Amino acid sequence: MDRSSDWLEWFLQKKIRTNKGYMVYKVVLILILLFQFNVHAGSDVSIAKSFEFKSKSLSENRTIVVSLPDGYESSNARYPVLYLLDGVQNLKHVVGSVDVLTRVGSIPPMIIVGIKSKNRMKDFTPTKMDGIEESGEGKAFLNFLGDELIPYIDNKYRTNKFRVLEGHSVAGLFTAYTSMESPDLFDAYIVMGPAFWWNKEEPVREVKSFLSTKPKFNKRIYFGVGKEDGNRHSLKRFVEEIKAAAPSQLVWKHEEFEDEGHMSAPLLNNYFALKFIFSDMELPQEVRDNFTSKKFLEHEFGIMKKYGSAARQPQEIYVPLAMELMKRKDYAGAVTVFRRNADAYEMNKYPQNYVWLAEALEKNKEPEEALKVYKQAYKLSKETGYGELERLTKKVAELKAQL
């Protein structure tokens, strides 16, 4: 196997940049950096566990499915929670998107709590509508979430209190209703193809007055819809009201997807919504351009405080940034970033993460620490079959001789 650092150095020499800062083609770094060694053939894969929850608010049992992030059992970390309406129907594609985005560092690891639907028109509609006798029980379902299910999840699992609510169609209607009826219950909302036509576009009429009374409404809300979805028209009118009255602290986005209808759009909606909701995790360009270890670590500690200690940047940010710092001869800064990269992606068991750190430590005139890290790289290389044992043995011997 060729040395990954050789490939990266070649790209650095080619000076692939934008005028705002350093950039390397994502596809190359994905292939180089995200090579995994911990796949176990023959093992069963389970994405969630289910249980019956007896609700007093609803006077019935509800099926709840819970998907825990990789590493949950072996860590002490606390995690954000995504509450997923129509949870059984949508679980597979949501777990898949969360898995991909978590592995590359675009979102933090999170707990997914899905709620199986029984009667959607009853649970997800906030008001009665003529012709639908069972409608209008949204308040009871909201009480179930706030008074029963969320306290239960917080007590049973290691949550960090950051909560996201996601819903599609009438569940999207309920998600928007929840943001206005109980704005402190969730921190972010994903509203997909919402049924804002409800009761002659009642939500469109209500959102302006709601926002006028909430000048410090500091939530993150994503609205997504397919361009072939008839619900896009009422959503567009809802969004126009937000444009006119949104408080300065409200962070929101509205996207329409070409060639997608009501039932096909949620896959894309969910993926891009998650990236948007957690977009504040990304290291600011100003920190990259005017790097100091202090500013870098302040940002990293900030995202871990907000989203849990397992939150991290993509390696596509850490590694090119540290390589650039090496070129600038800011070896102390490179050590800071490479160390964070190695710690954040420890579970990948990727020896090259430690080789990069050891090289930076050598340049920073820390031979004793470099020796320890080279030994870590050697051990991992042997365990995973990564190779390069001869080169790593030589480096260990060289440093021992120096010391």
pLDDT tens, residue by residue, 274-326:
999 999 999 999 999 999 999 999 999 999 999 999 999 999 999 999 999 99
Q: Which whole number is the average pLDDT over 176-198?
A: 97
User: According to the per-residue pLDDT averaged within each range, which of 45-59, 203-217, 331-345 is highest?
Assistant: 331-345
Q: What is the pTM of this model?
A: 0.87
**Nearest 10 degrees: Cα torsion 99, 102, 107, 108:** 110
Say whether pLDDT at 2 is over 70: no
User: Quick one: pLDDT at residue 115?
Assistant: 97
Give yes or no: residues 53 and 18 share one domain.
no
Which of 7 and 144 is assigned the larger pLDDT?
A: 144
Mean pLDDT of the chain: 89
- Per the structure, the complete domain to which residue 239 belongs is given by 49-281
* Residue environment code for 227-244, b if the CB has 16+ CB neighbours within 10 A, otherwise e: eebebbebbeebbebbee
Give yes or no: residues 233 and 107 share one domain.
yes
User: Quick one: pLDDT at residue 387?
Assistant: 82
Q: What is the pLDDT of residues 23-78, one digit of tens each?
A: 334 434 433 444 343 333 445 778 999 999 999 999 999 999 999 999 999 999 99
Last residue of a domain, one of 235, 260, 281: 281
Domain membership of residue 38 (yes or no) is no
Give yes or no: residues 60 and 189 share one domain.
yes
Q: Which whole number is the average pLDDT over 7-29?
A: 39
CATH number, position 360 = 1.25.40.10
Q: What is the pLDDT of residues 222-254, one digit of tens each?
A: 999 999 999 999 999 999 999 999 999 999 999
Give yes or no: residues 18 and 148 share one domain.
no
Structural contact between residues 262 and 229, judged by C-beta atoms closer than 8 angstroms: yes
Give yes or no: residues 312 and 257 share one domain.
no
Give yes or no: residues 156 and 23 share one domain.
no
Banded pLDDT at 403 (limits 50, 70, 90): confident
Last residue of a domain, one of 257, 281, 305: 281
Last residue of a domain, one of 281, 303, 333: 281
Domain count, the chain: 2
Give yes or no: residues 225 and 332 share one domain.
no
CATH number, position 143 = 3.40.50.1820
Say whether pLDDT at 262 is over 90: yes
Phi, psi (deg, nearest 5) at residue 276: -70, -45
Q: Which whole number is the average pLDDT over 126-146?
A: 95
Give yes or no: residues 11 and 82 share one domain.
no
